[in-house]
Amino acid sequence: MKKILEVKDLRVHFYTYNGTVKAVDGVSFEVYEGEVLCIVGETGCGKSVTARAITKMIRSPGKIVGGRVLFNGIDILELDEDQLSSIRGKTITYVYQDPSAALDPLYTAGYHVAETVTAHSVGMRIREALRRAVEIFHEILIPDPENRVKSYPHELSGGMKQRVVIATAVANYPKLIIADEPTTALDVTIQAQILDLLKELKGRYGSSVVMITHNLGVVAEMCDRVIVMYAGKIVEKAHTERLFENPLHPYTKGLLNAVPNPYRKTMRLESIPGVVPDMINVPEGCRFRPRCPFATNACLIEPELIEAEKDHYVSCWLTSKVGQQ
Amino acid sequence: MNETILIVRNLRKYFPVKGIFFTKGYIKAVDGVTFTVLRGSTLALVGESGSGKSTVGRLILRLIEPDDGEILFNGMNVRKLKNTDLLEFRRRTAIVFQDPYSSLNPRMTVYNILKEPLEAHNIDVGDVEEYIVSLLERVGLGKEHLYRFPHEFSGGQRQRISIARVLALKPELIVLDEPTSSLDVSVQAQILNLLKDLQESDKLTYLFITHDLGVVRYIASMVAVMYLGKIVEIADTDSIFSDSRHPYTRMLLSSIPVPDPKVARAREKAKLTGEPPSPLNPPPGCRFHPRCPYAMDICRKEEPPVVEIEKRHIVCCHLYVRR
């Protein structure tokens, strides 16, 4: 399969009064054509910052201090604002968590889509673009598309708003859709509909999807490959089935055991003791060490991400020792 | 064990929607809800946003006044309570809210937060500080946290403080309104385990309001599924998950993402359509009929009756009416 995106050693720091927050600290991954890649992790692990850094959308006090983002061979981080504008919203698009914040209350639903279309095609009139908006609304199963394009955001329900946001995201046949917690603000029945929709659109438009989530259920449902992040670093990377079958990193194991499974009676949930570390004073060595039940002295040195089995990467001394023996 | 602590009958609350000159209509937030809760058990109220589950929680504690219906707490008619009786009722019941960021006063130290309920109810616990430390220890915090302010704590720790505040008065019934929805999974597991332990040691009764069916499976003994202000199904937790009858319950179950790729991809999914209609003008007849794959003519006209499928398993659906 063809790689369409390659992120190499990405580092994003935030310079605050209390000190430097290393939100993303050396993250590398790749996205293949037509796949769904999930980034999971808890609050503050750097998953959203990673997603935004892909198109250089980091505002002060944040700064991308290192790394490369190769998209079809071009390093996005080297591009100027004009060149970036021609990529954002066209080849790489975003779907955010809160659809009410993503839509401008003063414009109609159709206008949002039409604007994205006209912005990236020279000479197209807004009237034409609105017709295209109706088409897209039809495709993403918004009922009564001819009238819905004229609705303002406040006239739509949360699920519908998210559909409109998705419509703007797919309007220009993107190569990559980055969905940052697209269903967190929605009810479960609507969430299931939106996930189905994303899966279907991905097939129809041939796009790849990078999905950011904290919900392991969504991962299991949607994704081909998973990246688990913890405190600004990737701790494990694998195919979805493999990760759920054979999690190697103690954090991944803990996370999987902490989710109450509706399809199984659990007597006692295994929780991970402690809390996510303060990102200004990150623990020395392995960042999960203070919460890890298997921590040893070796963990004072930072482990690297190594391939434990085919296509299954983990950064933990436990696994690398097993590998050496 | 089989002693009932709370009986709710036909509870109703309509919120008026005000126009400029007169009331435009009513949001039927809770429209005839009936259930009982056994002492020491956990009843989970599940439903989507706007189903009225939080309103039910508040009505029971009389944080908002019901329009109609009956609430019996240990045999007392809650709606008729006044003065000291009401105060006593408030001591024996409690609520934990979803957002620990807004439910703790940012200008009070943990010590003051935990002392306030004791003062409000004039309760003598001897050494106040010692008592408060013992409360903190029960929820997994310690003496060193006594004089800190809420902003110094993480979300999970704040929720622990909320729980400690509730425990201060040794309540019998606690309404938990989405207590873990704003927390990360690893912290959620800690809080759920804490709640389970406290329930066992103190014989607490929980009314657990949530939309997360995984959490329900873990913590609840009975489940009531709500849709647009009505309960559509009540049953033991195991029967809800293995033998659910109402089409809405089934739809809800099939739409939860399962944290197991094999199950997630193999299982058959009920086709999901539509969104919950507005509670301002709920559809006539069965409120679920516009989304229901089995809708019949009768569902559009008549409200479904309450059908007892088996002992402790109640469903409101025309499909199960014997004719």
**Per-residue pLDDT tens for A195-232?**
989 988 888 888 999 999 988 989 998 899 999 999 99
pLDDT for B2 equals 72
Lowest mean pLDDT, pick from A158-172, B10-24, B115-129: B10-24
- Across the range B272-290, mean pLDDT stands at 82
In angstroms, the Cα distances linking B320 to B36, B245, B272, B306, B315 are 22, 9, 22, 9, 8
Residue A273, pLDDT above cutoff 60: yes
**What residues of B are in contact with residue A270 (Cβ under 8 Å)?**
189
Q: Which pLDDT score is estimated for B227?
A: 92
Q: Whole-angstrom Cα distance, residue B67 to residue B31?
A: 10
B217 and A215 in contact by Cβ < 8 A? Answer: no
**CA distances (Å), B164 to each of A296, B132, B170, B194, B202, in order?**
35, 9, 10, 11, 13
CA dihedral defined by A212, A221, A252, A64, rounded to 10 degrees? -10
Query: Is B181's pLDDT higher than 80?
Result: yes
Q: Which residues of A touch B273 (CB under 8 A)?
A: 193
Q: What is the pLDDT of residue B43?
A: 96
Q: Residues in chain A, how many? A: 325
The domain tally of chain B equals 1
Average pLDDT over residues B254-266: 82
Q: Which chain B residues are Cβ-neighbours of A220 within 8 angstroms?
A: 257-261, 263-264
Q: Spell out the alpha helix ranges (H) of chain B.
A: 53-60, 83-92, 110-120, 128-138, 155-167, 185-202, 213-219, 237-242, 247-255, 261-266, 297-301
Q: How confident is the model at residue A23 (pLDDT cuts 50, 70, 90)?
A: very high
Which residue in A189, A191, A261 is closest to B251 by CB distance? A189
Tokens of A304: 């690297």
Q: Angle CA(A194)–CA(A198)–CA(A199) in degrees, nearest 5? A: 120
* Interval A96-105 mean pLDDT: 91
Determine the longest span between alpha carbons in chain B, in angstroms: 67
A260 and B218 within 8 Å at the Cβ level: the answer is yes
- The pLDDT confidence band at residue B221, using thresholds 50, 70 and 90, is very high
* Residue A148 clears pLDDT 70, i.e. is over it: yes
- Among A143, A132, A210, which Cα is nearest to A172's? A132
Asked if residue A184 has pLDDT above 80, the reply is yes
Tokens in use for B180?
């873990």
Of B186, B218, B262, Cβ closest to residue A266: B218
A169 and A94 Cβ atoms separated by less than 8 Å: yes
Asked if pLDDT for residue A111 goes beyond 60, the answer is yes
For residue A203, the surrounding DSSP H or E stretch is: helix A188-205
What is the rounded average pLDDT for all residues in chain B? Answer: 90
Cβ neighbours for A131, distance < 8 A, ≥ 6 positions apart = none
Average pLDDT score, chain A: 90
> Nearest-CA distance from B259 to chain A in Å?
4
Range of the domain at B44: 4-320
pLDDT surpassing 60 at residue B110: yes
Six-digit token pair at B297? 């003519």
pLDDT band at B271 (very low <50, low <70, confident <90, very high): low
Asked if residue A61 has a cis previous peptide bond (ω within 30° of 0), the answer is yes
Q: Tokens in use for A50? A: 């990673």
Among partner residues A42, A196, A220, which is closest to B184 by beta-carbon distance? A42
Which residues share a beta bridge with B225? B46, B233
How does strand B313-316 pair with strand B230-236? antiparallel
| Probe site for chain A from B194, B256, B268, B291 (most A CB atoms < 10 A) | B256
- What integer pLDDT is reported at residue B14 of this predicted model? 92
Tokens of B316: 């409101």
Lowest mean pLDDT among A31-40, A185-194, A306-315, B194-203: A185-194
Nearest to B275 among A157, A221, A256 (CB): A157
The CATH number of the domain where B36 resides is what?
3.40.50.300
User: What's the pLDDT band for A325 if we cut at 50, 70, 90?
Assistant: very low
Q: Is the pLDDT of residue A271 over 80?
A: yes
In this predicted structure, what is the pLDDT of residue B262? 82
Residue A323 pLDDT: 45
Helix axes B185-202, B155-167, angle to 10 degrees: 10
Inter-chain CB proximity A269 and B193 less than 8 Å: yes
Cα angle at A263 between A239 and A48, to 5 degrees? 45
**Residue A218: closest C-alpha in chain B:** B257
Give the distance from CA A134 to its chain's centroid.
28
Model confidence at B76: pLDDT above 70: yes
Is 70 exceeded by the pLDDT of residue B1? no
CA distance B194 to chain A (A): 11
Q: What pLDDT score was predicted for residue A320?
A: 67
* Dist CA A199 CA A205 (whole Å): 10
Q: How far is A209 from chain B (nearest CA, A)?
A: 18
> Is residue A324 over pLDDT 50?
no
Q: Residue B270: what pLDDT?
A: 62
Mean pLDDT for A184-194 is: 87
Closest chain A residue to the Cα of B273, Cα to Cα = A193
Q: List CB contacts (< 8 A) between A196 and chain B.
A: 272
Span B192-205, mean pLDDT? Answer: 94
- Distance in Å, alpha carbon of B186 to nearest chain A alpha carbon: 6
Interatomic CA distance for residues B259 and B135, integer angstroms: 35
Q: What is the pLDDT of residue A134?
A: 93
pLDDT at A15: 93
| Inter-chain residue contact B264 with A217, CB threshold 8 Å | yes
Average pLDDT over residues B192-215: 93
What's at B82, amino acid-wise?
K
